[in-house]
Homo-oligomer: A and B are copies of this chain.
Amino acid sequence: MKEVSIGIDIGGTNSVYGVVDKAGNILKEGIISTKGHKKAENFVKALHTQLSAILEELDHSIQLEGIGIGAPNGNYYNGTIEFAPNLEWKGVIPLVSLFKKYYDLPVILTNDANAAAIGEMIFGGAQNLKDFIVITLGTGLGSGLVANGNLIYGDNGFAGELGHTIVKLDGRKCGCGRTGCLETYVSATGIVRTLLKKLSDTNEPSILRDSPVNKITSEMIYDAAKKNDKVALEVFDYTGKILGIKLADAVTHTGPKTIFLLGGLAKAGDLIFKPTIKYFKEYALSVFNDTEIRNSGLTDKNAAVLGSAALIWKNKINHHQ
């Protein structure tokens, strides 16, 4: 009998899930619409039906050890999703309780970036590290901080919100209601804002000037930079600068050995890594100069499911210590 856990990554539009063994093999995977279920109860019920079908197929070969869930604004301590702006389910959703109606097993919830950090620890590039940070670069910027071998949840479960460190007082408006947050600069949406700023600052020609403003995406800026579009290259340099300086600040808190970047912007490779590392080294306190900044050891496709599934394995390790 193979021990397995189920990893579920809840997204604003769709959610993905997989049955994962201890070596990080995804035995089965699937997808379900999140938006299509106006109530979380109905979502969990429909997901249970799909999972039951999958588990039945695997029935004789596996033993299910638990369910790990990564979700926006997921709270580890309370087992709740709390006021997630990108989900239709408003207010405080007792997600773990909803799952417990169907499963008499450990059900662990945390936010998606924390799940990614646990995935990095169990299956990715952080398997031998006790102190590291994972930065997820998506629509926003998420982060999971690990110190002394354990994720930092903080007193109320909301630690690790580097996307909401303020990098510029009175800077760009953020969805959180404040101004100048890191994620308004360093994220898929942030880089588009930086492009518009650069286009306003200069008369430099750019192929991106031909596009309707509301059609510009981070991928288009990447493509333009690859074609040596000067403005697009400057935009990446500026984005890496903001990120590198902020990471120089972050390491003075928890002193990680490695910072892993994951998600859309990280795929830009040297375009984002080179300036990030350059400015990090320029601004970091000398004792932190050797901190590595590198790609996640998980692929984007699997990171979310593996990270969520890994919550169960990490939990078992901690209980056996």
Contacts and interface: CB of A to CB of B under 8 A. Distances in A.
Interface string A138-171: 0000000101101011111111111011100100
B178 A256 contact: no
Contacts of A250: 253
Contacts of A256: 154-155
Interface in A109-160: 129-131, 145, 147-148, 150, 152-160
A245 B147 contact: no
Given A130-B155, A155-B131, A288-B158, A166 B283 contact: yes
A88 to B, nearest CB: 21
B255 A165 contact: no
A217 interface: no
A188 to B, nearest CB: 20
A240 to B, nearest CB: 15
A277 to B, nearest CB: 17
Contacts of A166: 245, 248-249, 283
Contact of A160 (B157, B248, B255): B255
A22 interface: no
A176 interface: yes
Nearest to A176: B285
Interface string A218-234: 00000000000000000
Contacts of A283: 166, 178
A283 B162 CA distance: 14
A182 to B, nearest CB: 9
Interface in A278-293: 283, 285-288, 290-291
B252 A153 contact: no
Given A164-B285, A285-B161, A152 B255 contact: yes
A212 interface: no
A267 interface: no
Given A159-B253, A161-B252, A250-B253, 6 more contacts: A130-B155, A131-B155, A145-B254, A148-B150, A155-B257, A169-B245
21 contacts: A130-B155, A131-B155, A131-B159, A148-B148, A148-B152, A153-B255, A156-B257, A156-B287, A156-B288, A158-B255, A159-B252, A162-B252, A162-B253, A165-B249, A166-B248, A166-B249, A166-B283, A176-B285, A178-B285, A250-B253, A254-B254
